[in-house]
Amino acid sequence: MAKTKLTPISGFPEFLPEEQIIFAKVLDIVRNNYERYGFSPIETPAVERKEILASKGGNEKEIYAISRFAAEEGEDPNTDFALHFDLTIPLARYVALYKDKLSFPFRRSQIQKVWRGERAQKGRYREFYQCDIDVIGKGSLSPLTDAEIPSIIYRIFDEMKIGHFVIKINNRKILQGYFQELAIPADQTGDILRIIDKLEKMGAEKVVRELVKTGVDETKSQKLLSFLGELLNTEDMLTKLNSMIQINEQFSQGVKELATVVEGVRSLGVPEAFFKIDLSIARGLDYYTGTVYETVLVEHPKIGSICSGGRYDDLASFFTNEKLPGVGISIGITRLVPQLIQAGILKVGAATVALVLVTAMDENRINDYLRIGSELRDAGIPTEVYLEKARLGNQLKYANKKGFKIAIIAGEDEFSQNTVQIKNLMTGKATLCSITEMVQQVKCQFEDLI
């Protein structure tokens, strides 16, 4: 029988064990920090009703619909469901549905896969994890909540040890107030914000050309870019913005909110070197109304934004008349981790999560090897027992290839003396000890790994 040719499915990533281990560790760091700030985890179904996904700005060409592979006679194989392409729409539905049972402000974390039928390319996938947090208020939400977000971002990436990063902060009201000052019509602001959001990728010249196409003349476009490109430290930027608050009420409100966020970020212990005000940060999505964030690696700008988000006035207007303002961020971890590995920022290590391999020299002693493995596991030491028939040399090759740190070796001589060898696979040194002392010896030698 002819074999099926196997090729990876474009846009649906698969990692080797050593890569998946790093991925899982990063997920743990994100999850633990979310919980440290009091965000309760939720999970929503992978599917939503089609009309819900389409109603909230989803590009129908990118939405994967659900159909039955084979339907019963007379049944329609198509369903009313589709895979969710982000976690914001499921959150909006969830909050609107359960608002009478939830406690507000509602602090939620959600780490799930999403599916998006876009053209697969480097750093862009059709199936990927998103790691979201949002704080949802009922009627109102303190601007100090906006200050908490950079603190969470800082803690996550500091723990990941990915080098120097900067959290760029802005406020949409400042931009929209400045648009008013330039007499830019309100119905053009959405297009302009999307163009501005591409400033770093496109460059100033191309952005000016795009702005002119939308109807903003070149003089106003140049003035706008000059305003956006101002490079000042945080205190000087706030001073400059405060000197301009007479422009209009919206601009003034944006500056006051931004100053409150900066003061809160400092109070929460984020070092000055890790955040700054950047007026060019716009975020292209329409629903952001206030504070916006983007985080970038200083030494690896080509990786792009590694975390972004912002404040919105009303999460669930399509589902309820109750005003539900919120603020949140998303980390696209599936996109981020491979790029950090490729850049050498995250190092690929062992292809096993176990520290110890118990080798099996004598098949008649297999029950003893199993007991040794159980004793190590009971002491909290991740352990694998080699169960196949193989020479000791081949077992040690297996151990080195997978990245075990320790091999436990025992043959008839060792068992007759009630001892085992603890072999350090990083140095090649073997130590003989009694079986009763084995766990303590492993813990003493490899305390930092357990």
| Domain extent listing, the chain | 13-152+299-348, 164-294, 356-449
Per CATH, the number for 164-294 is 3.30.930.10
Amino acid code (one letter) for 19: E
Per CATH, the number for 13-152+299-348 is 3.30.930.10
Residue 373 C-beta-side C-alpha neighbours within 13 Å: 16
pLDDT tens per residue across span 114-130: 999 888 777 789 999 99
Amino acid code (one letter) for 96: A
- Percent of the chain clearing pLDDT 70 (strictly above): 98
Give the SS3 label for residue 336.
helix
Give the pLDDT confidence score for residue 27 in this predicted structure.
97
106-115/40-41 β-pairing: parallel
CA–CA separation, 115 and 125 (whole Å) = 8
In this prediction the pTM is 0.92
CA angle 418, 419, 424 (to 5 degrees): 165
Hey, what CATH class is 356-449 in?
alpha beta
Q: CA–CA distance from 277 to each of 93, 204, 301 (Å)?
A: 33, 19, 17
- Asked whether the domain spanning 356-449 has the same topology as the one spanning 13-152+299-348, the reply is no
Give the SS3 label for residue 204.
helix
pLDDT tens per residue across span 417-437: 999 999 999 999 999 999 999
Beta bridge partners of 292: 170, 310
The rounded mean pLDDT for the chain is: 92
Give the SS3 label for residue 118.
coil
Give the pLDDT confidence score for residue 58 in this predicted structure.
58
Tell me the torsion sign for CA atoms 398, 402, 405, 406.
Answer: negative
Give the SS3 label for residue 411.
coil
- Greatest mean pLDDT among 43-57, 111-125, 367-381: 367-381
Least confident of 129-143, 216-230, 255-269, 353-367: 216-230
Entry field: residues in the chain: 450
pLDDT tens per residue across span 177-228: 999 998 888 888 888 888 888 887 788 788 888 888 888 888 888 898 889 8
Residue 338 C-beta-side C-alpha neighbours within 13 Å: 14
> Among residues 390, 280, 316, 275, which one has the least CA distance to residue 104?
316
CA–CA separation, 63 and 118 (whole Å) = 9
CA angle 284, 115, 315 (to 5 degrees): 45
Mean pLDDT to the nearest integer, 95-120: 94
56 pLDDT above the threshold of 70: no
Radius of gyration of the chain (CA): 28
Give the SS3 label for residue 151.
helix
